[in-house]
Amino acid sequence: MSSPLTDSVPASPIRGRRLLEIIHQPLLGPLAALVLAIIVFGSITDNFLSTANLSLLLQQSVVIGILAVGQTLIILTGGIDLSIGAVAILGTLVMAKIGAVQGPWIGLAAAVVVCVLAGLINGTLVAVLNLPPFIVTLGTFTIFFAATQLYAGSQTYAAVEGVQTVLGESFKIGTFTLTYGVLMMFAVYLLVWYMLKQTATGQHIYAVGGNPDAAKLVGINTRKTLFYVYGLAGLIAAVAAWAALGRIPVADPNAFQQANLETITAVVIGGTSLFGGRGSIFGTLFGMLIVSVLRSGLTAAGVDALYQNIATGILVIAAVALDTLARRRSS
């Protein structure tokens, strides 16, 4: 027997609403772009879809992928972090240098402390002194970069084999090769997704980014939330530093110089609003994979690296333009 509700509501409007709900899913755009890029490059190049190439693509994405998680959290609060890459590189130097003298575990612990402190410095300046995140992190980027160069003394340092390089060790699933660094990256995404979706802290992060004044009115401690987010971003930078030494077991003060831009690119292409309060952590994962697929596919197609940068820049501008348009329509 049919219910009164189903009798009174036509089926086509219900299907229409469901279709609209699917279309407005924030993850749908980045996911569709990722699938389209894979199809295109799989069609025009010979080896793009080979397991060896896809495995390498994932392994090369680990460091930026982890850093992009920290960048996402900060952008969700309405801020931005131009120093997160420099913090990670400082972490690799601390890990390798102290690890060579005091042992690998002490080196790893020291790197975590240094990276978290760097994040908390940013958090203090933004949350307590109420300074603009862009200016704060631009200044600390310069400081951390110079400190890294001074600490390294224009030298590179080998990581201690074992715990410091374990994230670079690989294993096989069929013909597909994975590293523990890839598993660590997915673990970081899952943990932060859970925090954002299932905890009060996650809801506070969205509230602070969406409307800080309204967040204060409902009793959210916005300063404490910002302080926590920047400290957590520092911890995530330490994990990225660990993964970087697993990927290349040498701490180089000049490595990953484009990390800040690449993390922001992944976040924006993944659909997180630069105005804060809107976005998802898995959108960032898709955004990071889109950039990786684009670069890998264009490289396989023989396109010069400079043209790859132009294509990436166009993607970022298009993503920001769409975000701005969506924000205007919603307001």
Tell me what pLDDT residue 64 has. 94
Tokens of 29: 């755009």
Q: Quick one: pLDDT at residue 5?
A: 44
| Predicted confidence band of residue 41 (pLDDT cuts 50, 70, 90) | confident
* Residue of higher predicted confidence among 136 and 300: 136
Radius of gyration of the chain (CA): 21
Q: Is 168 domain-assigned?
A: yes
Helix (H, G, I), strand (E, B) or coil at 180: helix
Task: Please indicate, yes or no, if residue 188 is contained in any of the structural domains.
Answer: yes
How many other CB atoms are found less than 10 A from the CB of residue 170?
12
pLDDT in tens, 47-85: 888 899 899 999 999 999 999 999 999 999 999 999 999
**Whole-angstrom Cα distance, residue 266 to residue 272?**
9
Mean pLDDT of 300-325: 79
pLDDT in tens, 90-119: 999 999 999 999 999 999 999 999 999 999
Residue 273: strand pairing partners = none
Under 8 Å between Cβ of 285 and 31: no
Q: What is the pLDDT of residue 21?
A: 56
Q: What percent of the chain has pLDDT over 70?
A: 90
| Residue 187 in domain | yes
Q: How many domains does the chain have?
A: 1
Measured CA to CA, the distance from residue 13 to residue 15 in angstroms comes to 5
* Within-domain flag for 255: yes
What CATH number should be reported for the domain holding residue 170? 1.10.3470
Is position 24 within any domain? no
CA distances from 187 to 31, 164, 193 (A): 20, 18, 10
Residue 245 placed within a domain: yes
139 Cβ contact partners less than 8 Å away, ≥ 6 residues apart: none
On whether residue 88 sits in a domain, the answer given is yes
Task: Tell me phi and psi for residue 176, to 5 degrees.
Answer: -95, 125
Is residue 179 helix, strand or coil? strand
The pLDDT tens digits for 226-275 are: 999 999 999 999 999 999 999 999 999 999 888 888 899 899 888 898 88
Strands 170-173, 250-251: parallel, antiparallel or unpaired by DSSP?
unpaired
Mean local confidence (pLDDT), 138-166: 93
Q: By residue range, what is the domain housing residue 273?
A: 48-329
So what's the pLDDT on residue 12? 58
Tell whether 12 is covered by a domain.
no
